Chain A
């Protein structure tokens, strides 16, 4: 039966995203909802946000899965994703201060606590688990905003965030299956299919951007699945390239700030539309700037390098999932 449910939710997300995104792109264009793509010639504008299509597909799949399974974990993941989507949509429509998203995303953590769909036994790789009832609630409140913003901040070039989520969701699904959390694994399938199907339109050269509504929905959903499924460490390892990006940025800027408010850009656009790392001391350190440290690259070459890092981390995350089952 689980196999049938998996096919149903995957097909729902794929069909909605694949067939409704093109008309939605035309809708956004006809209503002037576009933003400049700074790494392209001829002042190219790209429709944004694709978040509503992402959310409609995810919500349709998760509602159907909840009705089929009546699993509260699925309901939690759905509500958490919806709240994050609305927070992102506000940010898409109105320029909000840098602290808005991290603070507002705390609200998305509340359904997990209220519905009690978590296990406060934290499974560590190699060294068994720890029971941390009170501390774990604090971690939930922290994890949703941190992961949401971490995924949001990796949305730097065409196709990066959708491709990254697709790659990073694989070890999550593998770990859930290894832990016999089949219904949560099925709830994670829409995340993978949403990201990989949206990638068709988001990849270089992008025909649509997900916007904050799309990236925060994916990020919060990823974190909610990790918490509800009890695979937090696997999720952390799979997200390491995005975590490194946020860590490098925060460690160099030393405050929570929107990228658009940074005066000195980390990356310079050359005349041939290749990207080059800034050599300014005041420029923030980012993952893209680190990749470009060895020399200029075209935008899609940088994206491929980020995917290599994501695939490497996904492999290490699967190794971590095995190590969690080994106790020494």
Chain B
């Protein structure tokens, strides 16, 4: 199926959005450290950014796997 990979890619992105929402709202947002508001916010921001980077890496890895199989035949 010509669009199979792209439909799968859209669903993967959507699932990552839902999982990301869960992590942000249910895990990261309630975190409270005894180090003050600024440090707590900084800590939450770093975890959130790390999650976004991880999601991007997952999407790039999937993209690279597919393009190596289907699109690149010579250098």
Contact = CB atoms under 8 A, between A and B. Distances in A.
Interface residues of B, number: 29
Nearest to B28: A130
B43 interface: no
B10 A240 contact: yes
B72 A309 contact: no
A305 B3 contact: yes
Q: Is the interface of B mostly helix, strand, loop or mixed?
A: helix
B17 interface: yes
B10 A309 contact: yes
Nearest to B21: A124
A251 B10 CA distance: 16
Contacts of B33: none
Most chain A CB neighbours (cut-off 10 Å) among B26, B63, B71, B72: B71
A285 B71 contact: yes
A285 B63 contact: yes
A283 to B, nearest CB: 8
Given A127-B22, A244-B6, A291-B3, A237 B14 contact: yes
Contact of B73 (A240, A279, A295): A279
Q: Is the interface of A mostly helix, strand, loop or mixed?
A: helix
A314 to B, nearest CB: 11
Contact of A233 (B3, B17, B26): B17
B24 A130 contact: yes
A240 B21 contact: no
B35 interface: no
A290 B63 CA distance: 10
B25 interface: yes
A280 B26 CA distance: 45
A224 interface: no
Interface in A281-322: 281, 285, 287, 289-291, 293-295, 305, 308-309, 312-313, 316, 320
Nearest to B20: A124
Contacts of A323: 18
A8 interface: no
Nearest to B45: A135
B72 A279 contact: yes
Contacts of A316: 10-11, 14
A279 B3 contact: no
B53 interface: no
Interface string A118-149: 00000011111010000000000000000000
Interface of B: 2-3, 5-7, 9-11, 13-14, 17-18, 21-22, 24-26, 29, 59-60, 63, 66-67, 70-75
11 contacts: A126-B21, A127-B24, A130-B29, A233-B17, A236-B17, A240-B10, A247-B59, A248-B63, A279-B74, A293-B66, A305-B2
Listed from nearest, the 3 A-B pairs whose CB atoms lie closest are A124-B21, A127-B25, A293-B70
